[in-house]
Amino acid sequence: MSRENGGFWEKFAAVFFYPIGFVTGRVRYEGSEHLPARGGALLVANHISYLDPVHTALYVHRARRMPRFLAKHSLWKVPMLGKILVGTGQIPVYRQSADAGQSLRAATEALHEGKIVVIYPEGTITRDPAGWPMHARTGAARLALTSDVPVLPVVHWGTREVYDHYNRRFRPFPRRTITVRAGAPIDLSAYRGRPIDAVVLREVTDLLMTRVRDLLVEVRGEPAPAQFYRGGAS
């Protein structure tokens, strides 16, 4: 039972997504003690598969919170999924349009209202061949600096082994272990109160993604590349 009253659509989404989570792998959800029981929090996550949001949502919901995702606005046009997104208060992202800033304003408002907001700063599934994080966009940094809430790194591993979008492979069997882990809040005190300009946004973005990458090193048990991948994006 969620501490937040999500009503009908929260229950409907749970009925829809929990079976998907079960079918797609043996889950290992770790670090949930870092998620605040109440109040706003920004979860900054890596992105390796279109299955990631399913498991992020279940991870947060198992902690008895309701996640709000920033996601491509085109998903709102998908039958039934669009109704779930509207009903559960998800946040559409409009890129390269007059409404481009609307998503960040909506996310900031959600954080100020005490919601948990999830963002994938890379903006799309990583194209790094080994699945490490890519060079990220600065929207997450702006949210982190304009909202006085905990900012937590979150990583997924194992979802790409089940569904690899770029190689068009879906392999739910044999069942694989899917890990979602949150880390301790990222210390941004050195940046609080400073003017939010392009330099600060880039520094904070790289700090956030470095913490995400370091957490992924722990989960994978192998060293990460020194630089973020800068290949083409979809």
Lowest mean pLDDT among 70-74, 122-126, 228-232: 228-232
Q: Which segments of 103-173 are extended strands (E)? A: 116-119, 151-157, 163-164, 169-170
Paired sense of beta strands 163-164 and 169-170, if any: antiparallel
* Residue 70 host element (H or E): strand 67-72
How far is the C-alpha of 197 from the C-alpha of 156, rounded, in Å?
30
Q: What is the mean pLDDT of residues 59-70?
A: 95
For the chain, how long is the longest CA-to-CA vector? 51
pLDDT at 96: 64
Give me the percent of the chain exceeding a pLDDT of 70.
94
Q: Which residues contact 16 (CB under 8 A, 6 or more apart)?
A: 84
Q: What is the mean pLDDT of the chain?
A: 92
- Beta-carbon contacts of 175 under 8 Å, excluding residues fewer than 6 positions away, are 25, 26
Residue 182: the pLDDT is: 98
Of 73, 68, 136, the C-alpha closest to 99 is 73
* Calpha distance 213→220 (Å, rounded): 10
Domains and CATH numbers, the chain: 7-220 (3.40.1130.10)
pLDDT at 220: 98
For residues 191 and 187, what is the distance between their CA atoms, to the nearest angstrom? 9
What pLDDT, on the 0 to 100 scale, is given for residue 48?
98
The span from the CA of 176 to the CA of 219, in Å, is: 15
- The pLDDT assigned to 1 comes to 38
Is residue 145 scored above 80 in pLDDT? Answer: yes
The pair of structure tokens assigned to 219 is 């989960």
- The four Cα atoms 41, 5, 61, 126 give a dihedral, to 10 degrees, of -60
pLDDT band of residue 12 (cuts 50, 70, 90) is: confident
Cα–Cα distance between 113 and 123 in angstroms, integer?
24
Q: Whole-model pTM?
A: 0.93
Can you give the pLDDT at residue 118?
A: 98
Is residue 175 very low, low, confident or very high in pLDDT (cuts 50, 70, 90)? very high
In the predicted model, what is the mean pLDDT of residues 34-43?
97
Question: What is the separation, in whole angstroms, between the first and last Cα of the chain?
Answer: 37
Q: What gap in Å lies between CA 78 and CA 16, rounded to an integer? A: 15
Rounded mean pLDDT, 179-208: 96
Q: Which two tokens stand for residue 42?
A: 């920004």
